């Protein structure tokens, strides 16, 4: 523009008449217009740009990237290594927080889609890395894995708190919540309510000072949870050595081979080893005629975490309980139990206590009867003095043989592991029309260990793919004890793309000798079907939003517990409970003996469980949280009149349910609460006179399994059964008086 103006002025100067000069004005100076400084990008634009850049990088990291391969993508176990997680977590957390900032800084008015729905879609890269790591830390814990867990768990806790305490994000969530009655979609309304209420319970409405206090407590608790779990795992990675063949008295041939295989695997040549896990310890206690050795094995198992050495957990427990009480007070709750139970079916600790104490007296009375019967046999064996906890299972087996002509050795040959796995699949097919086809060994479906097996799950009627099921069945060093189900991926459809479920079962069965069949106990068979019930719950989910997948703690055990029922049904027994030698199904005469003895030893099982649940609830209703764990455990058991002959199923020093996370804290009662619904559901099948009744099964799927938490779970049970569950069914199932 300046160049064109100069040319025009020159032309004017040269074009005047020759007769005279026209007055020419001196050209005025021309100021260059100032270019306006561009406005700095908004926080929203910064966050969006950051998400784009971080996503591009994250998609190149196999631990963070969307899963590829068949079935909508599978976990990339062939690319997973402990040393890759720190970098993945650092990037994943940055990306997650940036995605949340995009939602929080959005200049548009809050809506369900741009706030609640968007939040359900955020953090997927970090979630994938955390899922892979959770599987490793539970199944393949090594020094390297434990180091990563110790460093990064508190950082992940801090990142989650940063989201909870984000005032702009919460303001948008609150705006959607306040307008929730305008939402015409029932699932959207429920998710808006749950998201808002969950953030309030976590501290979103606290003052900045109190948010900081809660955040600090959360980080400390996460570190202590990791410390507790790692110490218990270290104590579980031990064993009792048997080096004298005489000490094998009472053990069956198959058990002897099992303990020999355990010793060989630990390079203990010429010896036998009872590994410090329940699947190894309980059969030994029920069979071994060596009372001194039973005591040694029992004490090693029950004193995990309570040996006064480097792996002692008592100090960690005391800190955890104290911090939980402080946090509950900051969040406006009387105790940790009140805070944890706010979003459960029971809601109030007193309701849970009332149910437990309704069952407790009958269980204690039954234990006295059981001990009286056993003491007679113990006296004949020359046992003098107190009848001890390590005597219980051994003499219970003797009484069962005497009263019912029944022993575990008679039952176990019918429960070969592979057959029972197939029996569980058959149950799923008959009840819900889903099939399981093994695909183990496919190169495009990697596993984290060669032992892990994989099945594709389909709808039988349509042949449509429904999900994948992974099975990891054996105990090993670095694997936590017990049995559990874990979801790798949940069902969802809200983004317009259907995502199918991937779930797993993890057990700690003990291998037999080389070439020998793997035989499991009746109790182990129930555990197998129990965990498979959890897997079915995930595989049959029809939830649209991930935020509605997780059910209350005292509901989630219900579907798993009820599926234990099918172990001893005739269709399963006829097809799958085949004697490993004769290949003949379990005879009805043996089933009848098992059924007649089904109420046998229920005192032991109930007291063992309930003492743990009651101590948990009493511990977490302490207002101040000051506690000496060993003394508290001992004093509480004395106060409730716990029989000395029965130890808690999980003593506090090894109670992973309570102290590796908040998950089951003030929540171990949930197994009993769920069993009320479980027992009542069994009555529904009994009334139908068909263990695979299609009407009952269809209602179970429609109201109990498929909706996740997209509807109120108490109402869901009423829709299924036509009424609230009847606690009398539970008492009847356990053989206790119903009045």
> Residues in the chain, how many?
739
Which residues pair with residue 455 across a beta bridge? 438, 469
**What HEC string does 266-295 produce?**
CCCCCCEEEECCHHHHHHHHHHCCCHHHHH
| CA 127 vs CA 120, 201, 488, 546, 551: distances in Å | 11, 22, 10, 12, 19
The residue behind tokens 């390590």 is 390
Contact of 489 with 502, CB cutoff 8 Å: yes
- Say how far apart CA 532 and CA 564 lie, in whole Å: 9
C-alpha to C-alpha distance for 127 and 99, rounded to whole angstroms: 13
Question: For residue 505, what is the DSSP state?
Answer: E
Q: What is the DSSP string of 648-668?
A: -SS-GGG-HHHHSSSTTTT-T
Closest residue by Cα to residue 503 from 482, 484, 527, 486: 486
Residue matched to tokens 């269809």: 698
- Say how far apart CA 541 and CA 545 lie, in whole Å: 11
Two tokens, residue 368 = 């006295």
User: Exposed, middle or buried: residue 715 (CB in 10 Å: 0-12, 13-18, 19+)?
Assistant: exposed
Catalytic residue numbers, as ranges: 531
8 Å CB contact between 292 and 240: no
Phi-psi region of 48 (alpha: psi -120 to 50; beta: other; left: phi over 0): alpha
Measured torsion, CA atoms of residues 278, 364, 600, 690, in degrees rounded to the nearest 10: -90
- Report the alpha-carbon distance of residue 340 to residue 328 in Å, rounded: 9
H or E stretch including 515?
A: none
What letter would DSSP give residue 550? P
C-alpha distances in Å from residue 105, one per residue of 109, 169, 244? 10, 8, 71
CA distance 302 to 720: 41
| First-last CA distance in the chain | 100
Contact 50, 22 (CB under 8 A): no
Q: Where are the extended beta strands (E) located within 137-271?
A: 239-242
Tokens of 264: 């060989």
Tokens of 206: 């606290």
Q: Which residues of 222-238 are buried (b: 16+ CB within 10 A; e: fewer)?
A: bbbbbbbbbbbbbbbbb
Of 429, 423, 686, which Cα lies nearest the Cα of 572?
423
Cβ proximity of 647 and 400 under 8 Å: no
Give, as one character, the DSSP assignment of residue 499. Answer: B
Q: How far is CA 91 from CA 70, 81, 95, 163, 535, in A?
A: 26, 16, 6, 16, 31
């Amino acid at each position: 523009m300046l160049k064109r103006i100069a040319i025009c002025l020159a032309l004017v100067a040269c074009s005047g008449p020759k007769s005279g000069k026209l007055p020419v004005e001196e050209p005025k100076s021309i100021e260059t217009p100032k270019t306006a400084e561009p406005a700095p990008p908004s926080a929203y634009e910064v966050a969006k740009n950051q998400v784009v850049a971080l996503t591009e990088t994250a998609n190149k990291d196999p631990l963070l990237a969307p899963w590829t391969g068949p079935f909508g993508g599978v976990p990339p176990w062939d690319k997973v290594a402990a040393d890759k997680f720190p970098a993945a977590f650092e990037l994943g957390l940055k990306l997650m927080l940036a995605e949340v900032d995009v939602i929080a800084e959005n200049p548009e008015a809050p809506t369900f889609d741009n706030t609640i729905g968007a939040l359900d879609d955020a953090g997927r890269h970090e979630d994938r890395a955390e899922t892979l790591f959770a599987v490793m830390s539970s199944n393949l814990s090594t020094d390297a894995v434990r180091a990563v867990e110790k460093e990064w768990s508190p950082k992940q806790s801090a990142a989650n708190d940063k989201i909870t305490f984000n005032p702009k994000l919460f303001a948008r969530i609150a705006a959607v919540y306040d307008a929730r009655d305008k939402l015409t979609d029932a699932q959207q309304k429920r998710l808006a309510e749950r998201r808002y209420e969950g953030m309030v319970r976590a501290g979103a409405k606290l003052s900045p000072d109190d948010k900081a206090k809660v955040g600090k407590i959360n980080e400390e608790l996460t570190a202590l949870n990791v410390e507790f779990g790692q110490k218990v795992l270290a104590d579980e990675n031990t064993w009792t050595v048997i080096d004298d063949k005489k000490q094998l008295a009472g053990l069956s041939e198959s058990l002897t081979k099992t303990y020999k295989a355990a010793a060989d695997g630990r390079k203990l040549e010429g010896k036998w080893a009872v590994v410090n896990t329940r699947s190894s310890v309980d059969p030994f206690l029920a069979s071994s005629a060596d009372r001194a050795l039973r005591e040694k094995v029992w004490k090693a198992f029950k004193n995990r975490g309570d040996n006064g050495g480097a792996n002692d957990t008592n100090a960690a427990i005391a800190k955890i309980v104290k911090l939980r009480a402080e946090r509950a007070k900051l969040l406006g709750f009387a105790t940790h139990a009140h805070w944890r139970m706010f979003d459960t079916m029971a809601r109030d600790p007193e309701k849970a206590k009332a149910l437990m104490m309704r069952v407790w007296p009958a269980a204690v009375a039954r234990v006295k009867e059981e001990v009286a019967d056993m003491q007679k046999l113990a006296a004949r064996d020359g046992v003098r003095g107190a009848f001890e906890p390590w005597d219980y299972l051994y003499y219970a087996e003797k009484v069962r043989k005497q009263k019912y002509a029944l022993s575990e050795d008679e039952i176990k040959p019918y429960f070969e592991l592979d057959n029972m796995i197939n029996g569980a699949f058959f149950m799923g097919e008959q009840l819900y029309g889903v099939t399981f086809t093994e695909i183990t060994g496919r190169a495009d479906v990697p596993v984290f260990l060669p032992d892990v097996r994989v099945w594709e799950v389909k709808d039988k009627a349509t042949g449509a793919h429904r999900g994948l099921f992974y099975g990891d069945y054996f105990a090993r060093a670095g694997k936590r004890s017990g049995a559990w189900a874990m979801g790798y991926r949940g069902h969802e459809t809200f983004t317009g793309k259907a995502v199918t479920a991937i779930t797993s079962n993890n057990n700690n069965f003990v291998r037999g000798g080389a070439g020998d069949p793997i035989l499991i106990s009746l109790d182990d068979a129930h555990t197998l079907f129990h965990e498979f019930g959890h897997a079915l719950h995930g595989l049959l989910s029809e939830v649209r939003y991930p935020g509605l997948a997780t059910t209350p703690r005292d509901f989630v055990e219900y579907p798993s517990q009820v599926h234990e029922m099918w172990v001893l049904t005739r269709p399963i027994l006829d097809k799958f409970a085949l004697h490993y030698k004769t290949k003949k199904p379990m005879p009805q005469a043996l089933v009848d003996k098992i059924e007649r003895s089904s109420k046998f030893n229920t005192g032991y099982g109930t007291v063992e469980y309930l003492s743990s649940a009651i101590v948990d609830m009493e511990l977490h209703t302490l207002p101040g949280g000051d506690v000496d764990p060993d003394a508290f455990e001992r004093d509480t058991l004395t106060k409730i009149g716990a029989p000395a002959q029965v130890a808690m199923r999980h003593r506090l020093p090894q109670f992973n349910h309570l102290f590796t996370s908040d998950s089951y804290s003030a929540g171990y009662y949930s197994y009993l609460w769920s069993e009320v619904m479980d027992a009542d559901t069994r009555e529904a099948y009994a009334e139908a006179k068909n263990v695979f009744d299609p009407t009952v099964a269809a209602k179970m799927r429609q109201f109990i399994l498929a909706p996740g938490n997209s509807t109120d779970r108490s109402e869901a049970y009423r829709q299924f059964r036509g009424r609230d569950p009847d606690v009398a069914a539970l008492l009847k199932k356990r053989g206790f008086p119903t009045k």
